[in-house]
């Protein structure tokens, strides 16, 4: 039987989602807790992967278990009692046996948070940037993303992906409380893609790159032309839709 588990985490103290040989990851912590509670070696397949320091407000993964989980709420409570304070399970539900957490996802939504002033409550939870930014120009640059599907310029090089094509469904800058926030939704994302896009749009916001120049970077399909990736602490995976 296959199950879908929904959870969130603060990524500050983890080497990302995916299990690494020399580092604590969210996947390793959650796998260990599930295996202990279910008394069987469990393998988790995530909806994607986040880099070190990146957070998730809503992440999903699937796993197989031979028995029916009758009381999923009780299982959620047991897992949360075992897991570190910076990882929380929200729900577990039965899905079709051929369901795949990664390949069946219709879209994913990320948000990038920027704080404009020092705040002890946002340390490691938002990127601190105090330089002036032209948000209107950044939104003009964001709008150009809808005109393209090949985002090689914003992808980490030498990855194992077969295509760098993605369909952007939403891309805009706005405000949430005291933070400047970039929201982007797509059917899939390349490794480091959101942070590379944000880093390049910040160059537009600082007046160092025009919107036309931003468009040209996409068309050149060369990561070396794009801006430096924005810091990891500002990035959140916010939703995975099926």
Residues labelled as active-site residues: 51
- C-alpha span between 194 and 56 (Å, rounded): 14
Closest CA to 15 of 61, 58, 51, 55: 51
3-state secondary structure 157-191: CCCCCCCCECCEEEEEEEEECCEEEEEEEECCCCC
- Residue 145 has which token pair? 């993303």
- Residue 107 has which token pair? 């879209």
- Residue 20 has which token pair? 């690494």
Cβ(62)–Cβ(101) below 8 Å: yes
Dihedral through CA 94, CA 97, CA 98, CA 99, nearest 10? Answer: 10
């Amino acid at each position: 039987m296959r199950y879908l588990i929904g959870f969130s985490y603060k990524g500050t103290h983890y080497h990302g989602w995916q299990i690494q040989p020399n580092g604590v990851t969210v996947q390793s912590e959650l796998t260990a807790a599930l295996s202990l509670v279910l008394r069987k070696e469990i393998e988790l397949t995530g909806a994607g992967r986040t880099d070190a320091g990146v957070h998730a407000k809503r992440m999903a993964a699937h796993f197989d278990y031979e028995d029916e989980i009758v009381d999923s709420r009780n299982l959620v409570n047991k897992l949360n009692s075992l897991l570190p304070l910076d990882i929380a399970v929200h729900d577990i539900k039965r899905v079709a046996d051929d369901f795949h957490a990664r390949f069946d996802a219709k879209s994913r939504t990320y948000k990038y948070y920027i704080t404009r002033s020092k705040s002890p409550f946002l340390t490691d939870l938002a990127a601190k940037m105090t330089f002036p930014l032209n948000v209107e120009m950044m939104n003009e640059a964001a709008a150009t993303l809808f005109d393209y599907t090949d985002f090689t310029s914003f992808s980490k090089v030498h990855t194992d992906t077969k295509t760098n094509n993605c369909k952007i469904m939403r891309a805009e800058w706005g405000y949430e409380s005291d933070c400047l926030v970039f929201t982007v939704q797509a059917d899939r994302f390349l490794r480091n893609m959101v942070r590379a896009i944000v880093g390049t749009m910040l160059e537009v916001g600082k007046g160092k790159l025009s919107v036309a120049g931003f468009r040209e970077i996409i068309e050149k399909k060369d990561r070396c032309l794009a801006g430096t990736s924005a810091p990891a602490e500002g990035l959140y995976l916010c939703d995975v839709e099926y």
